[in-house]
Chain A
Amino acid sequence: DAGVTQSPTHLIKTRGQQVTLRCSPKSGHDTVSWYQQALGQGPQFIFQYYEEEERQRGNFPDRFSGHQFPNYSSELNVNALLLGDSALYLCASSLVVPTGPSYEQYFGPGTRLTVT
């Protein structure tokens, strides 16, 4: 049973550039959430996608955008990169069961983004 996968593992970008990170959810999961984890801190929620639409958004600027595809995979795009965007970006998947959404989210290994 494949878990959550993310690509690439590491990425180095220059200020002002744009980046796209990718995520494939755990098999059978239909909801994808993205989190940013700065060094020494806990993950912070960016946004969540369900049925190809942004369902919920955290306190992140519009430079952060996303997309979910019909196969439930997702992309996170960040425009006009700042030094402060350097972080571990985590993707998590979860499942809407017949009785409703589940609380548990399952995380991928993350993409380490360094902005220079």
Chain B
Amino acid sequence: DQQVKQNSPSLSVQEGRISILNCDYTNSMFDYFLWYKKYPAEGPTFLISISSIKDKNEDGRFTVFLNKSAKHLSLHIVPSQPGDSAVYFCAASAEAGNMLTFGGGTRLMVKP
């Protein structure tokens, strides 16, 4: 039973445009959500997070939106850059310090 799902295995975007990566979850106990970026041969790198008490968190070109009623979150990257090309993982946690449950990842390709 996948508690965190990323339904789009891949996404291709033109440089300068917006990239929107989506994530759905089923467990109502999740109260914190994180996005990680992963390049080949490297470990996942923490990108941005959001608490369930918020519906938006912004950090530079990256914004995460949370819709608790729909159990859906999204990561917006504006403007997209070729260096953003990587696999993006959505993760969720039910309690601080506890395990992270990951989605299957979305491969983002930003074309120059």
Taking Cβ atoms with an 8 Å cutoff, the residues of A that contact B are 4, 31, 33, 35, 40-45, 48, 50, 56, 58, 90, 92, 94, 96, 100-110
Contact = CB atoms under 8 A, between A and B. Distances in A.
Interface residues of B, number: 26
B41 A103 contact: no
Contacts of B97: 31, 50, 94, 96, 100-103
Contacts of B96: 100-103
Interface of B: 4, 6, 32, 34, 36, 41-46, 49, 89, 91, 93, 95-105
Nearest to A103: B32
Contacts of A110: 43
A101 B89 CA distance: 22
A40 B44 CA distance: 14
A107 B44 CA distance: 6
Contacts of B95: 101
Contacts of B103: 42
Contact of A109 (B34, B42, B49, B101): B42
Contacts of A40: 104
